[in-house]
Amino acid sequence: MQKRKSVIISLAMLLCGSMAFSQSNDPVVMTVNGKPVLRSEFEYAYRKNNSAGVIDRKSVAEYAELFIDYKLKVEAALAAQLDTLTSFQEEFAGCRDQQIRPSLINDADIEAEARRIYTLTQHQVDSLGGMVKVRHILLELGQRAPKSTETEVKQRIDSIYKALKAGADFSEMARKYSDDKGSASAGGSLPWLQPGQTLPEFEAQAYRLKKGEMSLPFLSPAGYHIILLEDKSNFLPYDSLRNDILCFIDQRNLRDKLIDDRLNERAQAAHTTPAAILEKQRMELEKNDPSLKYLIQEYHDGLLLFEISNRTIWEKAARDEAGLIDYFNHNKKKYRWSSPRYKGVVFHVKEVSDVKKVTKALKKVDFEKWGSILEKQFNQNGEIRVKAEKGIFKQGDNAWIDSEIFKHGTSPAPLKDYPFSGVCGKKLKAPKTMSDVRKQVLSDYQEAMEQQWIKDLRAKYPVSINQNILKTIKELY
- The string of pLDDT tens digits covering residues 395-438 is 999 999 999 999 998 889 999 999 999 999 999 999 999 999 99
pLDDT in tens, 104-160: 999 999 999 999 999 999 999 999 999 999 999 999 999 899 999 999 999 999 999
For residue 155, how many other CB atoms are within 10 A of its CB?
A: 10
Element (H, E) at 35: strand 35-38
**Could you tell me which residues come within 8 angstroms of residue 290 by beta carbon, excluding any fewer than 6 positions away?**
19, 20, 21
Q: Give the single-character DSSP code of 171.
A: H
DSSP-assigned states of every residue in 177-200:
H-S-HHHHTTTTB---B-TTSS-H
The packing angle between helices 254-269 and 107-127, to 10°, is: 110
Neighbours of 153 (CB within 10 A): 20
Per-residue model confidence (pLDDT) at position 5? 57
The overall average pLDDT reported for the chain is 92
At 257 the pLDDT is: 94
Q: How far apart are CA 245 and CA 252, in angstroms?
A: 10
Look at 424 and 11; give whichever has higher pLDDT: 424
CA angle 60, 65, 66 (to 5 degrees): 95
Query: What pLDDT sits at residue 22?
Result: 44
| pLDDT tens-digit series, residues 234-257 | 999 999 999 999 999 999 999 999
472 pLDDT band, cuts 50/70/90, is: very high
234: number of Cβ within 10 Å: 11
Q: Give pLDDT tens digits for 295-320.
A: 888 899 999 999 999 999 999 999 99
To which H or E segment does residue 241 belong? helix 238-251
Q: What percent of the chain has pLDDT over 90?
A: 84
Q: Which residues have a Cβ under 8 Å from the Cβ of 296 and sit 6 or more positions away?
A: 95, 96, 99, 282
The CA distances from residue 308 to 76, 133, 370, 400, in Å, are 7, 63, 36, 45
Band the pLDDT of 2: cuts 50, 70, 90.
Answer: low
pLDDT exceeds cutoff 50 at 17: no
- Of 23-27, 95-99, 168-172, 268-272, the one with minimum mean pLDDT is 23-27
What is the edge-to-edge ordering of all strands in the sheet holding 386-393?
386-393, 341-349, 420-428
Span 219-241, average pLDDT? 95
The residue type found at 253 is N
Task: Quote the radius of gyration of the chain (alpha carbons, Å).
Answer: 36
